[in-house]
Chains A and B, each alone.
Chain A
C-alpha cells in the first residue's frame, strides 16, 4: 500500500476531534463497534498544518470528553502528514476564521487537495471557508464524508446512521442538513 493511491484531504481541527469523540465516549448513548477516525485516516491521505495538531494538543489535559478525544487524535497523529505553513505569503484575508482553519485552507489550495473537510457548517464561517477555497467543490463536512465512507463500505451504514444522530444530539449539528445527507446518500 502506498499513500499515493489515496485521495489527498486537508482537515480542520474540529474534524479530528469530532471523529475521535465517539471512539472514546464510553457512555451508553455513544455508538460503538466502529472507528470513524481510523476509517478517515486510513482511507484518505490526510494533511494538516502544524497549527491543527497544536490546537488538538491545547484541548488535552482536562478530565473531559474533549480532552480524551484529543488524546486519541495525538495517538493517531503519525497517520497524518503535518506541514509547517508559517512561511505563507500572499494571504489576503483570514476573515473571521481561526488559525487552524485559515492555514488549512491555505494548505488545501497549495496542495491542490482533493478535499478540504471542516465542520464549520453550523455558522456563517461556512461562507468564509467557501470563499477562501480555490475550488469550492472540494469542500466537505464530516457528516458528508461519513456518508461516503458508508457508501464505500468502509464504515457500516448502521453505524454511520447512529453516529450522525449522536452528533446532532451532543454537538448540535444542523439536523436538517444531516437529514438531507442521509436521504441522499444512505437510503
Chain B
C-alpha cells in the first residue's frame, strides 16, 4: 500500500516508551510499526465500542462531525444508515385523523385485553432472594 505518509512527533511518558522499546526488540520490528499497529487496533476497537458509537452519533446529529468522518470510522453501510435516519428526523408524516375519542377496548378488540405478567421469572426472583 503506497499511501502518503505524514510525520507525527509527540511526547509520551518515558517509562511507556521504554516498555515499547523492549517489546519492539523482542518482536524485531520498528518502533514506528508497533505504534501504527497499536493505533490501528485502538481505532478498530473504538469503532466497535458502544459508548464510542453513541458519542460519535451524538456528534453527527449535532453537526460536530461530518459524513466523511463517520464513514471513515464506521464503514459505509453504518454511516449511510445514520445519514438516512438523520435526514428523516424532521420529516412530517401524513396527518393522523381521529374523530372524537379512541374506541373502548370492548368495541375495538371485541372483548377484553388480558395483561401479561412475568409470573415465572418473578417466582425465580423470589427464590433467589431467600
- Chain B binds chain A: yes
A114 at the B interface (CB under 8 A): yes
Number of A residues with CB within 8 Å of any CB on chain B? 55
A99 at the B interface (CB under 8 A): no
B98 at the A interface (CB under 8 A): yes
User: Distance (Å) between the CB of B89 and the closest chain A CB?
Assistant: 5
**A127:B84 contact, CB within 8 angstroms:** yes
Segment from B10-18, B32-40, B108-116 that makes contact with A: B108-116
List of B residues within 8 angstroms of A8 by Cβ: 94
* Cα distance, A115 to B114, chains bound together (Å): 30
19-64 of chain B: CB within 8 A of chain A: 54, 57-58, 61
Segment from A49-57, A100-108, A136-144 that makes contact with B: A136-144
15 sample A-B contacts, Cβ–Cβ < 8 Å, listed by A number: A7-B94, A26-B115, A44-B94, A63-B120, A64-B116, A72-B113, A79-B108, A115-B94, A121-B81, A141-B88, A144-B88, A144-B93, A176-B61, A177-B57, A180-B61
> Which residues of B come within 8 Å of A, CB atoms?
54, 57-58, 61, 77-78, 80-81, 84-86, 88-99, 102-103, 105, 108-111, 113-118, 120
> Which residues of A come within 8 Å of B, CB atoms?
1, 5-9, 23-27, 35, 38-44, 63-65, 68-69, 72, 75-76, 78-79, 114-115, 121, 123-124, 126-127, 130, 136-137, 139-141, 144-145, 148-149, 152, 154, 174-177, 180-181, 184
